[in-house]
Amino acid sequence: MTIGSMSAGMSLLVIWLLAVIAQSLGWLWQKRHRNAGIVDVVWAAGVGGAAVVAAVLGDGALTPRVLLALLGGIWGLRLAGHLLHRVLGEPEDGRYAHLRKTFGQDQRKWFAFFQFQALLVLLFALPFVAVARNPVAGVTPWIVAGVSFWLLSVVGEAIADRQLARFRSNPANKGQTCRDGLWRYSRHPNYFFEWLHWFAYVCLAVGSPLWWMAWAGPLVMFVFLRWISGIPYTEAQALRTRGDDYREYQQTTPMLFPWFPKPSLKTPAQTPAKTPGRNAP
């Protein structure tokens, strides 16, 4: 076993242990406050923290490691802060409220659920370990591409989050679907930009002996968003709470990749009047 592989293994072990501790604390908070949404906050902070840990423990060149710590850390901090604001200011997310009907008060199931998120932190740390072992020094075209991907994705996700938060803050929009701004062109623009963000580390890892591990980010994130824990749960909850309005949104608006929407299937008589001040189509 080479020194580099030992360094990568040690980084992953440290990241996993820290994630286990963090998710255990999140589980205790959930147990007290009956709000499992904190799991997303801890996950985002854990992934951002994993980037910093990998950068510190890595043995690659200074430039990719510094960028890894900055870009990954800032991404995780922004997302965790946004999610924490929602957790503290709103009732438990409908997805977890629905899951609570299944788990009930069996805290063993909740603990296992939180620890599964710790394993996901470990999985998403693979691209960070690849970047942290990159020996290529200096600013290269791949470095520029990685930073560009990061800027586009983080700014795009922040805009989508702000647009949705503004829509939800208006009581007149209760029970309706957000079609403002980026949400006119994708049912999940926040998820799209979160997925796009992982290509930043693919670029930063070019030249690393572990470059192939960087592809775990976009590939695994797409699988989880598209088929496992992202879009399926979010849309099932939307259909439970918004019914026909969301079904019409599904039929006219692309699921993930932004594109122009199809014409509305509603007749003029069925289309609700626009709320003054809203940017609805």
CA-closest candidate to residue 67, choices 201, 185, 169, 195: 201
Backbone φ/ψ region at 35: left (φ over 0), alpha (ψ -120 to 50), beta: beta
In this predicted structure, what is the pLDDT of residue 32? Answer: 95
**How many DSSP H helices and E strands does the chain contain?**
11, 0
In this predicted structure, what is the pLDDT of residue 209? Answer: 96
In this predicted structure, what is the pLDDT of residue 94? Answer: 87
Q: What are phi and psi of 159, to 5 degrees?
A: -65, -45
User: pLDDT for 239-249, tens place per residue?
Assistant: 999 999 999 99
In this predicted structure, what is the pLDDT of residue 269? Answer: 44
User: pLDDT for 28-60, tens place per residue?
Assistant: 999 999 999 999 999 999 999 999 999 999 999
Q: With bands split at pLDDT 50, 70 and 90, how would you rate the model's confidence at 25?
A: very high
- Spatial separation of the C-alpha atoms in residues 236 and 99, rounded to whole Å: 12
Out of 98-102, 127-131, 181-185, 221-225, least confident range: 98-102
What the block records as the tokens of 54 is 């990998």
Q: With bands split at pLDDT 50, 70 and 90, how would you rate the model's confidence at 264?
A: confident
Q: Across residues 260-264, what is the average pLDDT?
A: 91
In this predicted structure, what is the pLDDT of residue 71? Answer: 98
pLDDT over 50 (residue 237) = yes
Buried b (16+ CB within 10 A) or exposed e, 249-276: beebbbebebeebeeeeeeeeeeeeeee
What percentage of the chain carries pLDDT values higher than 70? 92
In this predicted structure, what is the pLDDT of residue 5? Answer: 55
The amino acid at residue 116 is F
Choose between 220 and 268: higher pLDDT: 220
The residue assigned the tokens 């990159």 is 134
CB 86 within 8 A of CB 76: no
User: pLDDT for 154-197, tens place per residue?
Assistant: 999 999 999 999 999 999 999 999 999 999 999 999 999 999 99
CB 122 within 8 A of CB 42: no
Strand ranges for the chain from DSSP E: none
Q: What are phi and psi of 237, to 5 degrees?
A: -65, -40
Q: What are phi and psi of 277, to 5 degrees?
A: 90, -10
Question: What single-letter DSSP state applies at residue 119?
Answer: H
pLDDT over 80 (residue 77) = yes
Query: Cα dist. 119→77, 126, 208 in Å?
Result: 19, 12, 24
CB 74 within 8 A of CB 214: no
In this predicted structure, what is the pLDDT of residue 277? Answer: 38
Question: What single-letter DSSP state applies at residue 227?
Answer: I
Q: Across residues 104-129, what is the average pLDDT?
A: 95
Which H or E element spans position 184?
Answer: none
